Structure 1
Amino acid sequence: MKKDGIKVVTIGGGSSYTPELVEGFIKRYHELPVRELWLVDIPEGEEKLKIVGELAKRMVKKAGIPMEIHLTLDRREALKGADFVTTQLRVGLLDARIKDEKIPLKYGVIGQETNGPGGLFKALRTIPVILDIAKDMAELCPDAWLINFTNPAGMVTEALLRYGAIKKVIGLCNVPVGMHMGVAKMLGVQSQRVRIDFAGLNHMVFGLNVYLDGEKITDKLIELMTGGTPSGITPANIPDLEWEKDFIKALGILPCPYHRYYYQTSKMLEQELESFQKEGTRAEVVKKIEEELFELYKDPNLDIKPPQLEKRGGAYYSDAACNLISSIYNDKGDIQPVNTRNNGAIASIPDESAVEISCVITKEGPKPIAIGDLPIPVRGLVQQIKSFERVTVEAAVTGDYHKALLAMTINPLVPSDTIAKQILDEMLEAHKEYLPQFFKPKSDNQ
């Protein structure tokens, strides 16, 4: 890797999150000299790519740093000689997400972007595309790191570890970052003073131990959570329903916001149906937020990341990515939670599977911090979700209808095999355009 400057390629460069990524690179330029940032998108995203790209150029100009911004629809041209590749794409755009959220609701099942049937279908659409990107990387930039924050990040990382053409793969999520910042806020301290031992899966991660200035304060934090102190750890895309206080006391560890879908299923479904009646699905709300953001981005006088971006639900994603890239580049050896190969860190998860866990970040990549086993009360749920992820990845790679049905049925948010089949059939038809692996001629599919 070149110490005099590096090349970063962002696939899905027309995303509304890109200004945060650019801001992150600008503020770290003294330690992470990104000389070339290539923003790549598809023809359907060209207009957004141009708007975001022009804003990025204005931000770099204001900062007065020698970072070149390149915009292209040619992924292969961009990838040549890259040092880091970040992926933040959405196959089928927000219209596909609207279907992921709307169709399950008809069957009385939670419709959510990364959990249940919605998470399954986002994975089925996304995994083949990401595996193709990995193939191009193996040919054009074999030494580059792929930093993926395309959701569902855990399943995408699982697919890349099992079927990808490259080995340097890390999945990233903003949920642990949001939890860390929320805990610091609850304690009324700066975030650098707090450390959390994270372990589990993407959107199924737990804070096993919480430390303040090196002293373990998990019990104190649980007391605060059950004593009415607002947690501030729920992102904008999840209803911030109050936890049953005695349940949190009994659990004794920090759940992530997405655990509400599993521990408060009926309340979350009720809330989702209510929101759906009032303002549509979360994806429809996001569509409006995105339209407003892109109107802001068009302003030729705007040369900073606008604060409105935090409403988008994925705040801190890009900052976490810049942090991670800097730690690899500078061989920092600091601790960050990422999605990576388990390698024995969590005893009850297969070694070769993806887990979300606190890791020491070095120039060789993440080194997971072994925690032994997860506490018995949460172990079974995590294993069930890992089974769901494994079978989903196989379905995405093979286009096998029966594997997709199996994945749908074993997900705890789907109440029965009959409902699983009904949802699967309707969603396969709705997303047909983006699922060629399921619609191959019969002779190829036997």
Structure 2
Amino acid sequence: MKLTVVGGGSTYTPELVDGFARLRDTLPVEELVLVDPAAERLELVGGLARRIFARQGHPGRIVTTDDLDAGVDGADAVLLQLRVGGQAARERDETWPLECGCIGQETTGAGGLAKALRTVPVVLDIAERVRRANPRAWIIDFTNPVGIVTRALLQAGHRAVGLCNVAIGFQRKFAGLLGTAPADVHLAHVGLNHLTWETGVRLGGPEGENVLPKLLAEHGEAIADDLRLPRALLDRLGVIPSYYLRYFYAHDEVVGDLRTKPSRAAEVAAMERELLAMYGDPALDEKPALLAKRGGAYYSEAAVDLAAALLGGGGSPYQVVNTFNRGTLPFLPDDAVIEVQAAVGPTGPVPLPVPEPDPLFAGLIANVTAYEDLALEAALRGGRDRVFRALLAHPLIGQYAYADTLTDRLVAHNREHLAWA
């Protein structure tokens, strides 16, 4: 089995490699190819990746290359974890929206749109090259904004599934609180990428006992603290929102916080410099503890599970993924991309039935889906007016004066990545 990671020079990659090494019985990788144009980073990451495999006795071969076509040739699955523009672009995404009093964040609001505009054309080019190399290859997208990028891939006819680590993080957290194995925790997870709610937590499978009320009653304070939302709000909602809902439920508070502290991009850039220095140590043969602070917790477990299920070698029967709606949420178009539990196998994911969400959640899901429609249109076709329309539709913006100003700033900060600008 050959797997290729595009963006293999990322500091995330040792987390992924560690998972491949530990879970080799689930996903027997014979060749792992790390593709990245950043030669110096790729050398450091590739060296550590080989040492991790060696330490754990993994027989697979690790190849590093800056040649995308060679890297994806014959691959059974291709994982996308790229960042167009690097951390410098992320830094801008997180700062210029704040000048208008709007959230500065890389996956939602104006910053998220900027990332989508930079990313979608690049990902579609990569996907076409994967299709030429092996039309049966699966593409697993971990590149943000996952929902918009996955929708672009699926609408272009690619064999693609979007992956996020929010759900598996909740699964692991709840399992710890309940004193049970993560595999026993089944989430009734519904919404869009980075806009989801846990409407049920069932033990043993989709039909098991719902212990969400027990979790809220006994551990509500700890869960609320993790989300940085009031415990009383969780009790009133009766569900557990993802931490990204804080941008919607506490917008002005978050903007105030972001204006008084260094950006997350600046923190990550400093962390990456430290990590890369560690990766260059020839004595290091395991992922360092610092990597846990980088983000992407449990990414490797989720990626291994999904790839194994898609390639027919195993994996969990039910997994939270991003895929076409196809009637699952009846108030959305069939070609909207939703994030829900699905049965996953070699023919792809099939969303499990979910109760129609409370209007409190459904309204926001529908609103953000409309934004994502317009965002994808702007990413595919370009043009200032399309960018403006997407920003005006976003519930975190929604005022024409803000949308106008943010459009000008988005284009100014991203001109080098926008073919039409």
- The alignment partner of 2:94 has SS state of helix
Secondary structure of 1:271's partner? helix
Which of 319-328 and 49-58 deviates more?
Answer: 319-328
* 1:443 corresponding residue in structure 2: none
Is contact 1:161–1:353 with CA below 8 Å preserved after alignment? no
Match of 1:224 in 2: 218
Identity, in percent, stands at: 39
331-340 or 307-316, which deviates more: 331-340
- What is the TM-score of this pair, normalised by structure 2? 0.96
Larger CA deviation: 392-401 vs 341-350: 341-350
1:21 equivalent in alignment to 2:16: yes
User: Is the counterpart of residue 181 in structure 1 residue 172 in structure 2?
Assistant: yes
2:370 to 383, 387, 404: 387
In 1, distance between residues paired with 2:92 and 2:353? 39
1:261 and 1:304 mapped to 2: Cα distance?
35
Which moved further from structure 2: 174-183 or 384-393? 174-183
For residues 90-129 of structure 1, the aligned pairs below 5 Å read 90-129=83-122
Work out whether residues 233 and 257 of structure 1, in 8 Å CA contact, stay in contact via their aligned partners in 2.
Answer: no
Distance 2:60 2:99 in 1: 49
1:299-320 CA-to-partner distances (Å, cap 9, x unmatched) read: 1011111121110122212321
For 1:13-92, what aligned pairs fall within 5 Å after superposition? 13-42=8-37, 45-92=38-85
| CA distance, structure 1, for counterparts of residue 249 and residue 153 of structure 2 | 30
RMSD: 1.6
* 1: CA distance, partners of 2:331 / 2:126: 31
Q: Secondary structure at the match of 2:102?
A: coil
The equivalent residue for 1:202 is 193
Report how many residues are paired: 417
List alignment gaps of at least 5 residues for structure 1: 1-5, 235-239, 440-446
Q: What's the CA shift for 1:138? A: 1.6
How far did residue 223 of structure 1 move?
A: 2.1
Q: For the residues of structure 2 that align with 1:271 and 1:190, how far apart are their CA atoms?
A: 36
Structure 2 CA distance, aligned partners of 1:224 and 1:402? 50
Instruction: Give how far 1:401 is off.
Output: 1.7
1:170 and 2:186 correspond: no
- Verify the 8 A CA contact 2:96 2:104 in the aligned structure 1: yes
Structure 2 residue 381 is the aligned partner of structure 1 residue 398: yes
Matched, 1:137 2:130: yes
Deviation, 1:29, is: 1.6
Amino acid at match of 2:363: G
**Worse overlay, 411-420 or 99-108:** 411-420
User: Kindly tell me: are residues 378 and 15 of structure 1, through their superposed partners in 2, closer, same or farther at Cα, counting changes over 3 Å?
Assistant: same
Return the offset for 1:232.
Answer: 8.1
Q: Distance in 1 between matches of 2:79 and 2:339?
A: 18
Structure 1 residue 356: deviation in Å? 0.4
The separation in 1 between residues aligned to 2:20 and 2:397, in whole angstroms, is 41
Give the C-alpha shift of residue 90 in structure 1: 0.2
Which of 403, 409, 413 is 1:426 aligned to?
Answer: 409
Contact 2:188 2:200 (8 Å CA) reproduced: yes
Q: 3-state SS of the aligned residue for 2:240?
A: coil
Change (3 A) 1:333 1:194: closer
Q: Which residue of the partner structure matches residue 279 of structure 2?
A: 297
Structure 1 counterpart SS, 2:30? strand
Per-residue CA distance 1:119-154 (angstroms, 9 max, x = gap)? 000000000001101111121111100000001101
Distance 1:351 1:165, change over 3 A: closer
